[in-house]
Every structure is written in C-alpha cells, then in structure tokens.
Amino acid sequence: MNTPPPHERALINNELCAQELQKGDYQRATVYCDLGLEFSPQYADLWANKGIIAMALDDKKRAKEYFIKALRYNQEHLQSYQNLGTIYLEEGAYGKAHDNFRRALQVNPDNLESRYDLGLTFMKMDKLDKAKKEFNTILAVNPNVSNAHHNLGIIAFQEHDLDTAADHLAQAAQLTPDASEVWHDLGTVLLDQSRFVEAREAFGNCVRLDEQNSSCLNNLAVAQRKAALTDSALKELKDTQTAENSAPALYLLARQYKDKGLLSEEESAYKKCVKLDAKFAPCHFGLFQIFSEAHKQPHAEAACKNFMKYGTAEEFPTEYQTCEKFLNSAAF
C-alpha cells in the first residue's frame, strides 16, 4: 500500500515519544505518539513506538495489535517484526515467532538480534541443526557473542558431543565471567568428562555468583569429592599406607581424607585402624570427632571412653581434656 510521507509534526512528535520512552516515562511517550498520529495516522514508526510502550507495560495483546498496524503501513519495518517475534517466542507460539524473525532477516540479514532469536526459536522447536546454523553464522560475523557460544554448548551437550560442548561453554564463560548459569552448564559438561578439578572450579564460580543455587552447591560437593578421590598423590598415599597395614599408617591416611573433606573414607580408615589395633588411641579420638559432629551421642561417648582407656593425658593433653569435658557434659 502507498503510505503518504509523514507530516513534519508527526516526525517531531515521534522523536519526542522515543525520548520519553528511553527515559521510561510511558505516559508522556504515549501523549507524544498519539499527537503524532493525529498528523500522520499511517506513520509506522509511531505505531511501533506505541507497541514498545505496550510491551513495557506488559500489555502484549495491545503491543501485537500496534506492531501489526505498523507493518500494515510499512512492510519493511524491521523492529516490528523483531518485537512481534519476541512476543510470540515468549508465548510459545514458535511458528509465528519463526516467521517474524525470518521476515526481519529478509529486511536486514545483518541483524544479529533477529538471527539469535531465530536460533533460539529453532532450539525450542527441537530443530537443532537449523539452530546451530544460525548461531554459527552469528559467530562467523562476531566470535564474541557469548549467548551463541552458550547455546551451541547446550546443543552439543544434548547431542553427547562433550568436547565441542566444553569448548563453546568455556568461551562463553570467558566472555561473560559473571553469568552463573554459564558456569553451571560448563561444570556439568566437565563433570561428565571426568575433569573433576576444572568442574570444581566452574561450580565454585557459580556458587560465588549465586550462593543459593542448589544445583551448583550439590555439584560442587560432588566435584570436590571426585577430585579428591582421583587425586594421584592421595591415591599413592592410600596404596602405600594400605600396603603397610599398620594403625599409624591408617591414622595418617584418615587424616589425609579429613583434609580433603572425604568424611566416609576418613571414618572407614579409623575403623580399620581400631580393628587392626584396638589400643591405638588417636584413631578412637578421630572416630569421636566424627560421631560428635554428626550428633551420634552414644557412638561419640564410646569412642571417647576408648580413647581415654588407651591414651594418656601426658601423651594427648588437648584431646584428653576435650573428651573429659564431653563425657562430663554428657553425664548431665
């Protein structure tokens, strides 16, 4: 349709509307847009700005009406296609979202925002090859788009291509080091690759940025544990001490487990120690510490009594005093 050129006053009011929109004063913006439309009711930019105002006020129904009106008067209005696509994507109307992002790219193939959102739409539609094509096109133009790397990492992980997933997610983390969700996804891939030390670091960064993230907290604990268990120095020590098979050797191994936060391994080593030599006092005290921290009162009392039975106050002054205090308080 042939739309007449906008009136000069419509141009001025559109500019004023856009300025108020940028300031977040939607009431004044609406006034200027409406005034502009009195001069040029077919001026697409004014309808598009009204659509942006409606979007900002979370009135998606009205926003869609305004963007569709803008496109009726200007079928090359890129921002209206982009914004319509965004609304449809949020609503889960992926077919309509796809069509609008496609039209936006027909107007300007260089528009990376529309290309990214088209890729996102393909992901939602489970058309992963098409999504990858869009994200890779973005990275060919600008290799520093973190979200494109992030999504390619997610797709590669879904396709069980862990090396590619790790590469893209590591680049995303480098580009946006303050994005906790990127660190979470990178940690997940590294954990699957058995790269436990790196996974521990990734989940640690996630927890630093988002202290309440339960998934990162849980996975951090898993990564820490697996990193400790696969630690070559600890494995060597375990082999040496187990081969020696003496109470002092097992005690030393238990203390190493304690330093690494491997509680169940520490407890197991103490139990093997007292089974091998019931009179080795330090292992009884180690068990006491574990049981008292776990609030296992009867077990803690028994371990303390065994420690005091086989250990002396002269040899273990601090530990002896700790056990005396514990047993005295337990008696009340």
pLDDT, tens digit (0-9, with 9 covering 90-100), for 167-176: 999 999 999 9
CB contact at 8 A, 275 and 287: no
Distance between CA atoms of residues 215 and 219, nearest Å: 6
Distance between CA atoms of residues 254 and 291, nearest Å: 15
State whether the Cα torsion 198-199-204-209 is positive or negative: positive
CB contact at 8 A, 86 and 93: no
Which residue in 305, 280, 278, 303 sits closest to 292, CA to CA? 303
Q: What is the DSSP letter of 144?
A: T
Threshold 0.85, pTM exceeds:
no
**Which secondary-structure segment (H or E) carries 163?**
helix 162-175
CB contact at 8 A, 260 and 234: yes
Q: How far is CA 246 from CA 94, 236, 306, in A?
A: 67, 16, 19
Distance between CA atoms of residues 46 and 57, nearest Å: 17
Query: What residues in the chain have per-residue pLDDT under 70?
Result: 1-2, 232-234, 331-332
Which pLDDT belongs to residue 163? 96
Query: 141 phi and psi, to 5 degrees?
Result: -80, -45
For 4, the 3-state DSSP assignment is: coil
Which pLDDT belongs to residue 120? 97
CB contact at 8 A, 109 and 78: no
Which pLDDT belongs to residue 241? 80
Burial 288-326 (b: 16+ CB within 10 A, else e): bbbbbeeeeeeebbebbebbbebbeeeebeebbebbeeb
CA 21 and chain centroid, separation:
32
Quick: pLDDT tens for 228-281: 877 766 677 777 787 888 999 899 889 988 887 788 888 999 999 999 999 999
